[in-house]
Each structure stands twice: as C-alpha cells, then as structure tokens.
Structure 1
Amino acid sequence: MALSKIKPLCVTVFLLCCVYSFSQNEDTKDLEGWSSIRLKYKLNKKWSFELEEQLRLDEDISEISGYFTQLSAEYTLIKNFKIGGGLRFTRVNDNEGKVQGYENYFRFQLDASYKHKINNFSLIYRFRYQNRNEFSVDDYANQKLRLKAGIEYNIKNWKLDPKFSAEIFNRIGEADDRGFKKYRLTLGTDYKFEKLGTIGLFCRMEEELNETMPKTTNIIGLKYTYTIKNK
C-alpha cells in the first residue's frame, strides 16, 4: 500500500475508534477528560526523572474529578530493560453522599518494563505494583498489580505514528476484595515539535470487571512533555 494511502487510513482508524468508543450510550456511564504537563530530565543514558501535573474531569467533562502531582525516576538496567518508581500526591473530589469535598491520597509505584523492535513495530511490556492510601484514614492500602502491553507502528516520513496498548488491573491484599478489577484500552499518537516538546493525544476505554453493574468510562486525553537533556 502506498504511503500516501497509509497516512489518511491511520487518521481515519483513530477517529473511528474514538467515535465508536464514545457512542456506546447503553453501557457508558461517564466521559472523562485527562490533561497533563510533564517535565522530563535525562541525566545520562541510564537515569531519567519526570515531574507531572495532571487534571482530570468527569461527569461528561463538566466537573473536576481530581488532580495530582507525581515525581518519578527511571533507570536502564540493561539494554531495553528499565526499572523505575514514582510518588504521587492526589486530591480527589468526592461529590457524592452527605460528606463531600476533596480527599487527599498518597500513592507509590514500582515499575519494570521491556521494549524491543520488530521491523517497523515497537513493542513494550510493563509490570507495575502500586499502593495507594488516603491520608488521615485508618484503612488498609489499595494495592494493585498492573500488566500492560503496547505496540507502536513507525510510518516513514510521518510524525503521527499510531500507538495502542491494553492493560489489566489486579487488586491484591484483602482477601474479600482481591481479583481483576478493570481493564484499559488506549489508542493514541504523539507529535514532536523541534525544541518545543511533544504533544500527545489519546482516547481510552476503561471497564470494570467482576461487578454486578460494571462501569464503563470513556476518556479523551491531552498531554504535553518537555524534555531536558544533560549535556
């Protein structure tokens, strides 16, 4: 297939997937919007650090769901294999029930990821352990294991390479609340501006598992990343 036909085809597939995802009215409970700004610092070939600020909107992108600040680090252990971790402080808007307002949460995460290439495809696999708990509340931590697999296709002379990933969340800890809780499907792309950073756009679907009335959430996201390299 000619390159001139591949480019509009990728854009069309991306738009159709978004439209299809957001048109499922029967099972869809909410539409959310996620926007983030990231500052990434590459110390050397081994170490990189990242500071992120993110805002999330729910109720069909009409109310603030929450926002967080996250600091993370990543280390290249061997070629294509990285380990990392992150700390996150989150403010969650609780707008249901008699007692409403913002609640404070702290989360830490540990990651291990592997990336390799097959022709024009890049494949990445990530394992994450995360632990989240609410400040000033005597309760057990919400612990999850997350397994993610992603693929990206590199189109020659085309900056909007498509990306797709699938992720599943498995809760651990308390015996009565263990098991797979939800899965996440994401389709997106990035555009890199010379010396100005990278803008990413994605559409995402999340669906709960093992629930009597599972919630489906559709998400549209916009992210900006600026990278500084140590010279």
Structure 2
Amino acid sequence: MKKGRNYKNLCLFMLLLSILFSNTMYAQTEDSKNLNLWSSVEIEYKLNDKWSFELSQQLRLKEDISLVDEYFTELQTEYSVNKNFSLAGGLRFIRQNDTDGNIQGYENHLRFQFDAKYKHKINDFKLDYRLRYQNKNDLSVSSDEGDYANQHIRLKAGIEYNIKNWKLDPQFSAEIYNHFEKGEAGGFDKYRLTFGTDYDMKEYGKIGLYYRIERDLNVDLPETTNIIGLTYKYTFK
C-alpha cells in the first residue's frame, strides 16, 4: 500500500515538473530572452527559540541564462514572537549589471527590508503570509542628481501540502508588489507566481528547486519573466 502511494506521488510530481518545463520552453519560443536562472547559498544560525540569523550569497542570470543580471550578499535576522508570528529585517548589498542605455556596467545598490510573517496549519496544509516593506537605492547616484529610493510594499501568501511518506512536498506562493517613489506614479507594478519543492538532507542541509513567473502590471507593454531557481541552505545551532 505504501509502495503504491509513493508511486502515485512520484507520477504526480513528474507530471507537475513536465508542465513546469513545458511552459518554460514555450515561453522561450515566445521571447528567447526572458528565461532567468537564480541560485543561492544560505547559512542560518539559530541562536535560540526566538532569534535566528541568516547570511546568503545569490547569483542571478538573465537573457536566456547567458548574462549576469546581478549578484548580492544579504544578511537577515528574525525574531519569533510566538509559534505563528515573527518579525524580520534584512540588508542586501547588490552588484547590478546595467545593460541598457548609453552608460552600461555594474552598479552598486543597497536594499533593506522589514517583514511581518504569520504561519499556521490546516490538516496537511501549511500556510504562510508575509507583509514586506522594501527600500532599494542606487549608491552611485544621489537624490540631488534625481535619484530617489525605489520602494515597495509586498504581500505574499504561500501554501505547502504535506504528502505522507514523501520528501518532495509541493509548494506554491503568490506575491504582488505595490510601488511608490518620489516623482513617480505609484500603484501595483508586478506579481509573482512560484511553484517549487525542497529536499531535506538532514545534517547536510536542504536543497530546493522552483519555477517562477514574474509579470509587470499597469504598463503598456508588460514583460513576463520565467525563472528557474536553485537553492541550498544549511542550518546550525
């Protein structure tokens, strides 16, 4: 009985992966330069039941995974108010590759964010929600030169289904961005849809794979970006 259930779970997972990559290949034929690859390595330290700290290094490739988009280092900390609710903050130093316009090359950006998170369970489902304030600024251009902080309010909701005797539980999340910046019209400007899974290797850490669709909102020519993500995370106490 257990073997038959595992076989069905494997077939379902392979079907979802086939749909995922079929959609990616279709998107490539529609726009050959909208496929990105995001990769990250993260180290988490849990100080106690309340506090945790995380350091990550990430690399993002664009234009059919042929060109560096950006790479960055991020430091985050999280405080658990109780088993369901937590507060977090993070700081990110970014090297962003500008390939548009007359002046091109790598730029230095600094971003910080503050999060409020809530999670709970309903039977075999894990649900989580995140409200984020995000502030990103180009360090090479001052406000006197016309540069102002790019700010967003982001709302994300996610769900994970726990399949018994199966280590690759499916995960799905949806996120919407609300943009505001001095001198520009604000409003919703982007959304993300993400499907993925991860595998816990116990003392060796956790690896993950996801597929993400990112699409512009409220513009004349909205752009859709397809993203394949690879993650590795190691937690120690």
Q: 2:121 aligns with which of 113, 117, 121?
A: 117
Report the alpha carbon displacement of residue 10 of structure 1 after superposing the two structures with TM.
2.6
1:55 paired residue number? 59
Report the alpha carbon displacement of residue 11 of structure 1 after superposing the two structures with TM.
2.9
Q: 2:182 aligns with which of 154, 174, 180?
A: 174
Whose relative contact order is higher, 1 or 2, with alpha carbons under 8 Å and at least 6 apart?
1
RMSD: 1.6
Report the alpha carbon displacement of residue 164 of structure 1 after superposing the two structures with TM.
0.3
2:140 paired residue number? 136
The reply on whether 1:20 has 2:20 as its aligned counterpart is: no
Of all paired residues, the percent bearing the same amino acid is 58
1:198 paired residue number? 206
Which ranges in structure 2 are unaligned for 5 or more consecutive residues?
none
Q: How many residues align?
A: 229
2:191 paired residue number? 183
Q: Residue type of the partner of 2:202? A: E
In structure 2, C-alpha distance between the alignment counterparts of 1:177 and 1:27, rounded to whole Å: 28
Q: Residue type of the partner of 1:219? A: I
Instruction: Give the secondary structure class of the aligned counterpart of 1:60.
Output: coil
In structure 2, C-alpha distance between the alignment counterparts of 1:144 and 1:74, rounded to whole Å: 20
Instruction: Give the secondary structure class of the aligned counterpart of 2:203.
Output: coil
Report the alpha carbon displacement of residue 79 of structure 1 after superposing the two structures with TM.
2.3
1:72-83 matches, cutoff 5 A: 72-83=76-87
Counterpart contact for 1:28–1:215, Cα < 8 Å:
no
The structure where helix makes up a greater share of residues is 2
1:46 paired residue number? 50
Instruction: Give the secondary structure class of the aligned counterpart of 1:78.
Output: coil
In structure 2, C-alpha distance between the alignment counterparts of 1:131 and 1:179, rounded to whole Å: 15
CA displacement 1:15-58 (0-9 Å, x = unmatched)? 31332244134367510000110000011111110000000000
Counterpart contact for 2:36–2:62, Cα < 8 Å:
yes
Instruction: Give the secondary structure class of the aligned counterpart of 2:34.
Output: strand
Counterpart contact for 1:84–1:112, Cα < 8 Å:
yes
**What is the TM-score when the length of structure 1 is the normalising length?**
0.94
